Amino acid sequence: MDEGVERAAGSLSLLALEGIPEVLPGMPLAPLITAALKRHSYTPADGDVLLVCQKIVSKSENRFVELASVQVSARAQELAVICGKDPRLVEIVLRESADVVRCAPRVLIVRHRLGYVMANAGVDQSNIPESQSRVLLLPADPDASAAALREALSRTLGAAPAVVITDTFGRPWRQGVCGTAIGASGIVALLDRRGEKDRFGRELQVTQVAIADGIAAAATLLMGEGAEGHPVILARGLPRAWKRDTARAADLLRPLAEDLFR
Amino acid sequence: MDEGVERAAGSLSLLALEGIPEVLPGMPLAPLITAALKRHSYTPADGDVLLVCQKIVSKSENRFVELASVQVSARAQELAVICGKDPRLVEIVLRESADVVRCAPRVLIVRHRLGYVMANAGVDQSNIPESQSRVLLLPADPDASAAALREALSRTLGAAPAVVITDTFGRPWRQGVCGTAIGASGIVALLDRRGEKDRFGRELQVTQVAIADGIAAAATLLMGEGAEGHPVILARGLPRAWKRDTARAADLLRPLAEDLFR
């Protein structure tokens, strides 16, 4: 492997795009993001990545569910008693999930049918209008959403930055949420460094690096969770060698057979 | 809470410092980092954070252990057979640990006596000279190391940037390692947002944000694991409101009583 090609960048900048409006159901994101980029006098360059908050992707894809429409199953009712959450919310979480990992007071951690282990299957009531009556699901296929957004941006911008769709996840053993990549297109999500050597010629012990998660973690700090609302971050300066047309955030999921907690 | 004070930054830049030499045992870091910063024409500003790779802190603190000096216990011998690692390395890992979380072929995950759940207790053989005969432990007290380095830098620079000591951790459920904060001084490690509201006046569901881990995750992408070797990253542009004199990376450890996997 050519170490020169795979070497890390010397600098990286992250910029929160101003002026992304409230996204309404069905509203395409590419024109909104293109307009915001143009206000920042953006010219595409190799190594650019747009980090896009899951919430605006879900809104654009109209992934809202009305709570009043939900028929609550016996299983959801049972879990709702344990975790103390709205039984209709628990029903929606179960429909999104392959597995319940943990249900305890105030805690409902599941394996989402897309493979992420996360609280409430990512079903969200914050930063959405009319949150008393409806909730917002994750995008149906975040890797496909990232690829479609990148494709649409390449038409409006001439060249396509990579796209990473981010969410914030709680983590075992550590406090606080951290930004995580749930969709990616155009950038390697998981970098395989097998065969590379350290500065003293010893084979690297760490061979796989979660590139997309690392960028997502920093970008979500700029997005903020509260009133500030910057759902799109432009990251610049990543190595050109991390460009991958076929990469997907799903590569970051540990295969079930290697899961130490099953 | 004043949301204006706690709002996220609009931009963030990360720069890999050039010219940090190989750190020898006992060599203080502050003069090396000060010299590198001066070569980059650095002037201290609020919101600056230095991300420092654990490895150079450990080298500076001479945390080397000679493999030849190690007496292997029966317990280490037994685990070494299971995980297929050098029994002397396993013995050193056990001495650094409070608990073995998982031992399987090629896997030895422990709870370090400082509280981190991690592979091999962070005991490392890469990027150290003479790695056939010795290994490198984590710093004895990374929060104290961060505070001491910040104090020393404040003397040489006039004003002290915050300091975060980073390591790369594997994670349950997800592939690839991600940068993590193991020591911090001068910046909030875990930001408590309880009481803040979203853009529609609803209480935030996410109330604690792992700030130091988010910055560490991006910074380690620039450090690289291999031949490139940039052990110190300067991050600029973080909100002034995230400055905390009393914050520690230990705040990021989930209390044992809340650990879902015990």
Q: pLDDT for A45-82, tens place per residue?
A: 999 999 999 999 999 999 999 999 999 999 999 999 99
pTM: 0.92
Q: Give the mutation candidate from A102, A114, A116, A174 for the B interface (greatest B CB count, under 10 A).
A: A174
Residue A129's pLDDT band, with cuts at 50, 70 and 90, is: confident
In this model, does residue A258 exceed pLDDT 80?
A: no
**CA neighbor of B164 nearest in space, from B234, B112, B113:** B234
* Per-residue confidence (pLDDT) for residue B160, from 0 to 100: 87
Beta-strand runs (E) in chain B: 11-16, 49-53, 64-66, 97-104, 107-112, 117-119, 134-136, 162-171, 174-187, 191-192, 208-209, 232-236, 243-244
8 A C-beta contact, residue B67 and residue B89: yes
Q: Residue B198's closest chain A neighbor by CA?
A: A226
Q: Is the pLDDT of residue A237 over 80?
A: yes
| Average pLDDT over every residue of B202-223 | 88
* Three-class SS state of B86: coil
Of A102, A127, A206, the CB nearest to B198: A127
Of the candidates B53, B90, B214, the residue with the CA atom closest to the CA atom of residue A216 = B214
Q: Which of B171, B203, B230 to mutate to test the interface with A (most CBs of A within 10 A)?
A: B171
Average pLDDT over residues A98-111: 92
> For residue A162, which of A58, A234, A250 has the smallest C-alpha distance?
A234
Whether residue A217 and residue B178 make contact (CB cut-off 8 A), yes or no, is yes
Which has the closest alpha carbon to A57: A246, A231, A216? A231
Percent of chain A with pLDDT over 70: 92
What's residue B66's pLDDT?
A: 94
Residues belonging to chain B: 262
Residues ≥6 apart with Cβ < 8 Å to B150: B160, B161, B162, B163, B185, B186
Give Dmax (Cα) for chain A: 63
Tokens of A154: 């390449």
Q: Over range B133-156, report the average pLDDT.
A: 96
CB A8 within 8 A of CB B223: yes
Q: Which residues of B touch A10 (CB under 8 A)?
A: 15-16, 18, 222, 230
- The model's pLDDT over B17-59, given as tens digits with 9 standing for 90+, comes to 999 999 999 999 999 999 999 999 999 999 999 999 999 999 9
DSSP E strands, chain A: 11-16, 49-53, 64-66, 97-104, 107-112, 117-119, 134-136, 162-171, 174-187, 191-192, 208-209, 232-236, 243-244
For residue A225, pLDDT beyond 70: no
Distance from the Cα of A67 to chain B's closest Cα (Å) equals: 17
